[in-house]
Amino acid sequence: MKTICDMTIEEYTKKVSGFHGHEAPGLIIGGFMVDLAMKNLPAGEFFDVICETSTCLPDAIQLLTPCTIGNGWLKIFDAGKFAVVFYNKETGEGVRVFLDIEKLKSYNEIYAWFMKLKKKSEQDKPLLLNEIRSAGDNILSYSKVNVSESFLGKKSKGQTGVCPICGEAYPVKDGDKCIGCQGSMPY
């Protein structure tokens, strides 16, 4: 029986639904990706993660590892690729796991879903999810990588100041006033 990080697929999909709101195909695949990465890292090592997409995959990482966006151990480098890099936070040595398009061609429903060949309304979600469960990590590949030094170590947020215009705390490195008062906020 296939497992994801020592959980049954049923246990994992229940966690996914509770966290993400529904049993998302990308999160199920993401679970297999995290599992494969963890199996290819030295046991007991402290690691950080770079996720190469902002869609679905970061949620799988946050569900299955201590790496979150909030604690800074999960970084999103949105290259638009369904891939993840787990790496030693001191040496940069790690493993990159990705959804392998060539392997995916053997799984019609997953391929059609991932390549957006069918509208969501035309997809057979139960068939898609069953095909993902059946495929497991057979649709994935991985390689050893060395992460750039710019991603290593803990980055200091620097000195904090009080904006003279709005009165809120902000990072002094942003200038003589906060970025909001500089006109750079999305609202």
What are the pLDDT digits (tens) for 168-185? 999 999 999 999 999 988
CA distance 187 to 140: 40
Locate the DSSP E strands across the chain.
3-4, 7-8, 47-51, 74-76, 83-88, 93-99, 140-146, 160-162, 169-171
Q: How far is CA 61 from the centre of its chain?
A: 5
| Residue 74 reports pLDDT greater than 80 | yes
What are the pLDDT digits (tens) for 32-65? 999 999 999 988 888 999 999 999 999 999 999 9
Classify the C-alpha dihedral 125-37-55-81 as positive or negative. negative
**Looking at residues 90-117, what average pLDDT do you find?**
95
Closest by CA position to 110, among listed 92, 136, 90: 136
| Residue 121 reports pLDDT greater than 90 | no
The full set of domains in the chain, from first to last, is: 3-151 (3.30.1330.130), 156-187 (3.30.60.80)
Q: How far is CA 52 from the centre of its chain?
A: 7
